[in-house]
Amino acid sequence: MSIVADELLACQSANMPEDDASASGGAIAPAGKVEFTDIAATDAVRVVSNGADARTITITGRLASGAIDSEALVLNGATPVAGSKLFERILKIAASAADGARTVTVTRNNGPTFTPIATLEPTITSVRRLFYNAASESGVTTRYEKIFFKNTNASLTLTAAAIQLTADPAATIRIGAAPSNDDTASVANRKTAPGSVVFVDDGVSQNIAGSALAAGSGVGVWVEMQRGANAAAVKNTFTVQLAGTTT
Amino acid sequence: MKVDSYTCNGVRVPAGAVRARIIKRLTSLRARAGATSETARAPLLTKAVELQKELDRLKEFADDAMVGRAGCGADLTEQIQAIPDDGDVYTYTCPKCGNTGTVRKTPAPEEEKADVVATS
């Protein structure tokens, strides 16, 4: 059976920094996701598992004041647990441990809709936003973080594989494929540019190494965020796509 | 060693135009899925799910937000390969559709450069 889109997973890298001093990049970290739907309006968060589950889910985000805060919610199996802190945006969601069988659904506590925010599937322990707590400065600032796309199909290679930035409403992002697949390159901090990477904006589609991603392999995608001098705060999303052909 | 190739995605278009394009494809796919056997339906419905996700991602944008791309397919490889890897931002222009954008090439890490010198 051909590769389907759900088999091309976007993952974190080993080092997802929360400041400008820590390392950025590294090897693939498949237990971490980078895709979620941010909370649309300031509200509490609700978590629920799909079976017996007593893990702790820690929600970290900004309150309406702008301050970063966290709330630890202990799962009660398939009975929803609602938090009390009101988050204006979500920064990261972390499970206290991995579970090979349980799926945790994180939603806004806006019953009866319960708008989805993120899903932590079996073996997934975190979902997070890139460029955590990054701020503009008196001069132009450029930061670099790394994600991966992994081909989780059991046997098929994604051929004619290319990445592209399909949406960048804030016009602040460029992306670049790592020079080789399954690489472990990192930089000393997220203000240090990775070597030998070609960063392009959303107007260009870029092939990955060998134009192919074998079954089980991952391709690193460096993400560059540039903010102008004294740039205003931005709360936005960007979309990266890996596409190719399959037998 | 990565051999680069680059393709133009086209000029910017408003979210409304992208939405209309996706809705047209979705309508067509669903109609075809409804008119075919259950077995043949599967890839059509899988594609429909992907397109619906794309549509959902566009929900937050006003119709006139320039967040889409028209599509082009022109080969920009020669132009982008000519750009030096000096870390500066350069502008490319598609010869087919006129789309312009920016590229930055970061230099190779120092240890890779030193290795090249040692073996040359």
Instruction: Calculate how close chain B gets to A34, using CA atoms only, in Å.
Output: 15
Residue A184 identity: T
**Is the confidence at residue B119, as pLDDT, over 80?**
no
Tens-digit pLDDT profile for residues A152-186: 999 999 999 999 998 888 889 999 999 999 999 99
Q: What φ, ψ does residue B13 adopt, rounded to 5°?
A: -135, 155
Indicate the burial class of A64 (C-beta count within 10 angstroms; 0-12, 13-18, 19 or more).
exposed
Pairing between strand A218-227 and A141-151?
antiparallel
**Phi, psi (rounded to 5 degrees) for B70:** -75, -20
Token pair 């259950």 is found at B38
Which residues of chain A have a CB within 8 Å of the CB of B9? 164, 202-205
Q: Which of B1, B3, B6, B52 to mutate to test the interface with A (most CBs of A within 10 A)?
A: B6
| CB-based contact A5 B109, cutoff 8 Å | no
Residue A193 sits at the chain B interface (C-beta within 8 Å): yes
| Gap between the Cα atoms of A191 and A169, Å rounded | 22
Q: What is the DSSP letter of A235?
A: -
Classify burial at A14, counting beta carbons within 10 Å of its beta carbon; exposed 0-12, middle 13-18, buried 19 or more. middle
What is the per-residue pLDDT for B112?
56
CA distance linking residue B45 with residue A130, whole number of Å? 32
* pLDDT computed for residue B58 by the predictor: 83
Residue B40 pLDDT: 82
What's the pLDDT at B120? 44
- Closest CA relative to residue B33, chosen from B59, B16, B51, B53: B51
As a whole number of Å, the end-to-end CA separation of chain A is 8
CA distance B35 to chain A (A): 23
| Contact in structure between A4 and B50 (CB atoms under 8 Å) | no
Q: How would residue B113 be classed by pLDDT, with cut points 50, 70 and 90?
A: low
What's the angle, vertex CA A71, arms to CA A66 and CA A73, rounded to 5? 155
Q: What integer best gives the mean pLDDT of chain B?
A: 86
Q: Are the Cβ atoms of A200 and B112 closer than 8 angstroms?
A: no
Question: Could you give the angle at which helices B38-57 and B15-34 cross, rounded to 10 degrees?
Answer: 160
* Chain A: residue whose CA lies nearest to B74: A204
Please enumerate in sequence order all residues whose Cβ is within 8 A of that of A227, keeping only pairs 6 or more positions apart, or say none: A134, A136, A137, A140, A141, A142, A172, A234
Q: Which chain B residues are within 8 Å of A174, Cβ to Cβ? A: 102-104
CA distance B120 to B114: 10
Chain A CB within 8 Å of residue B91 CB: no
Question: A181 near A209, Cβ under 8 Å?
Answer: yes
Please indicate if any CB of chain B lies within 8 Å of the CB of A8: no
Q: Taking a C-beta distance cutoff of 8 angstroms, is the pair A117, A45 a contact?
A: yes
CA distance linking residue A208 with residue A181, whole number of Å: 8
Q: Which of A200, A222, A224, A240 to mutate to test the interface with B (most CBs of B within 10 A)?
A: A200
Measured torsion, CA atoms of residues A20, A25, A26, A30, in degrees rounded to the nearest 10: 120
Give yes or no for a contact between A219 and A181, defined as CB atoms under 8 angstroms apart. yes
Complex prediction ipTM: 0.86
Q: What chain B residue is nearest to A239 in terms of C-alpha separation?
A: B57
Contacts with A168 from chain B: Cβ below 8 Å: 67
Tokens 């796509």 correspond to what residue? A241
Q: Is B22 on the interface with A (CB under 8 A)?
A: no
DSSP A137-186: -SS-EEEEEEEEEEE--SS--EEEEEEEEEE-TTS-EEEEE-SSTT---E
**Spatial separation of the C-alpha atoms in residues A90 and A45, rounded to whole Å:** 10
For chain A, list residues with pLDDT below 70.
Answer: none
Picking from A153, A182, A205 by the largest number of B CB atoms within 10 A of its own CB, the best residue to mutate is A205
- For residue B66, give the amino acid letter: M
Q: For residues A163 and A208, is the Cβ–Cβ distance under 8 A?
A: yes
What is the pLDDT confidence band of residue B2, given thresholds at 50, 70 and 90?
Answer: low
* CA–CA min distance B63, chain A (Å): 13
- Distance to chain B for A54, nearest Cα, Å: 31
A113 close to B (CB below 8 A): no
A77 touches chain B (CB under 8 A): no
Residue A238 per-residue DSSP state:
-
Q: Are A39 and A87 in contact (CB under 8 A)?
A: yes
Angstrom distance (rounded) from CA B5 to CA A163 = 11
Smallest Cα distance from B107 to chain A, Å: 5
Q: Report the distance separating Cα B12 and Cα A203, nearest Å.
A: 8
pLDDT tens, position by position, B29-55: 989 988 888 888 888 888 888 888 888
Amino acid B55: pLDDT: 87
A to B CB pairs, distance under 8 Å: 99
